[in-house]
């Protein structure tokens, strides 16, 4: 199934980029970056600031750091890679803001306080994985025989709207918010009652940083087939916007599975008010289906603070991919 959709070239490029990085590291750095696929923490992740297993990129030379970015670029689309780098740079204005109000968290803000980790050996192993993690950015890729999966994936922003010193206004993850708000405010009164799951936005995304999504999504919000044609087009745009952060073949496989499961099973859920939404309003929405969950929030008590996540209900951590690989290995044995 996977081989017919995901070109081997994607996994091969990742393998070469990971090898190039490993070859540029000294023995101590290789010990920090490396890990086993049997690691108990393989499915552990978070998007808060703080320490993580792996090699922190501010401990690298400029040349080594560029090799980390080259690896990240193999898993991201050009626009996804650009957004990821923009999220990292938001640590600078966030630090300045928190320092100005004497908030103790300013000490943790650093655009290079991000970690890379490689599980398994891309030079020899048929199964291996890598991840890039830090505050508001989490990208996880798993390979089996050079076939790739790319979730969980988390992009966040604080501040989501920021005026740069040159006067440029930056809106990181702005389209994600615009589309969700536009759809919620376009719903009829009856449609909105079906979509609204709470009058107030939750404190955070519902799936949090749980290793496995265990939410009941079967009756969460309004169904795709209960929306008008233009409204369904907005749902499609939200799905593509989130998935398009990944390299195109990974996105294509996910879209194919969404289509196969049936678009009419997709649901849009909203938490927050249905009118008078402005930049101070706390909001949350999700788009989900049998194979996926997308979440977006402007919460944490701060409407200038955004979280967004893509969870693949079949392929997070390459679960189905790894199971298929090991079944094939058992069949190959005499």
pLDDT tens digit sequence for 237-257: 999 999 999 999 999 999 999
pLDDT in tens, 138-186: 999 999 887 899 999 999 999 999 998 899 999 999 999 999 999 999 9
| Residues 287/213, Cβ–Cβ less than 8 Å | no
Q: How far is CA 296 from the centre of its chain?
A: 11
Q: Where are the beta strands (DSSP E) in the chain?
A: 34-35, 55-56, 114-119, 127-134, 137-144, 147-149, 153-157, 161-163, 169-171, 196-198, 222-223, 267-271, 283-289, 292-298, 306-312
pLDDT confidence of residue 320: 78
234 exposed, middle or buried (CB, 10 Å; 0-12, 13-18, 19+)?
Answer: buried
Report d(CA 113, CA 52) in Å as an integer.
10
Contact 272, 283 (CB under 8 A): yes
Length of the chain: 334
Q: Which range among 155-164, 222-231, 296-305, 322-331 shows the weakest confidence by mean pLDDT?
A: 322-331
**CA 136 – CA 111 distance, rounded (Å):** 11
The enclosing H or E element of 237 equals helix 229-243
2 pLDDT more than 60 = no
- What integer best gives the mean pLDDT of the chain? 92
How much is the pLDDT for 147?
Answer: 85
What would the pLDDT profile of 101-148 be if each residue is shown by its tens digit? 998 889 899 999 999 999 999 999 999 999 999 999 999 999 988 789
Which pLDDT value is given to residue 321? 73
| Mean pLDDT, residues 297-323 taken together | 90
pTM of this prediction? 0.93
């Amino acid at each position: 199934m996977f081989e017919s959709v995901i070109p081997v070239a994607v996994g091969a490029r990742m393998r070469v980029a990971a090898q190039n990085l490993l070859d540029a590291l000294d023995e101590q750095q290789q010990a920090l970056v490396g890990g086993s696929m049997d690691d108990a923490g393989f499915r552990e992740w978070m998007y808060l600031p703080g320490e993580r297993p792996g090699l922190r990129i501010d401990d690298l030379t400029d040349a080594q750091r560029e090799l980390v970015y080259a690896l990240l670029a193999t898993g991201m689309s050009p626009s996804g890679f650009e957004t990821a780098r923009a999220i990292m740079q938001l640590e600078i204005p966030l630090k300045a803001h928190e320092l100005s109000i004497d908030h103790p968290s300013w000490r943790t803000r650093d655009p290079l306080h991000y970690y890379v980790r490689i599980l398994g050996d891309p030079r020899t192993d048929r199964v291996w994985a890598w991840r890039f993690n830090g505050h508001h950015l989490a990208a996880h890729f798993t390979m089996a025989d050079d076939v790739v999966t790319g979730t969980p994936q988390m992009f966040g922003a604080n501040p989501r709207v920021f005026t740069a010193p040159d006067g440029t206004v930056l809106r990181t993850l702005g389209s994600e918010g615009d589309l969700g708000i536009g759809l919620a405010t376009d719903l009829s009164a009856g449609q909105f009652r079906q979509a609204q799951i709470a009058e107030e936005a939750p404190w955070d995304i519902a799936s949090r940083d749980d290793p496995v999504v265990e939410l009941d999504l079967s009756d969460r919000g309004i169904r795709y087939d209960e929306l008008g044609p233009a409204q369904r087009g907005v749902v499609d745009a939200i799905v593509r916007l989130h998935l398009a952060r990944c390299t195109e073949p990974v996105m294509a496989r996910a879209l194919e599975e969404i289509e196969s499961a049936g678009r009419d099973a997709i649901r849009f859920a909203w938490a927050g008010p249905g009118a008078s939404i402005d930049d101070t309003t706390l909001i949350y929405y999700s788009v989900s289906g049998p194979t996926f969950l997308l979440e977006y929030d402007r919460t944490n008590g701060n409407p200038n603070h955004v979280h967004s996540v893509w969870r693949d209900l079949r392929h997070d951590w390459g679960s189905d991919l790894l199971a298929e690989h090991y079944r094939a290995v058992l069949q190959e044995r005499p």
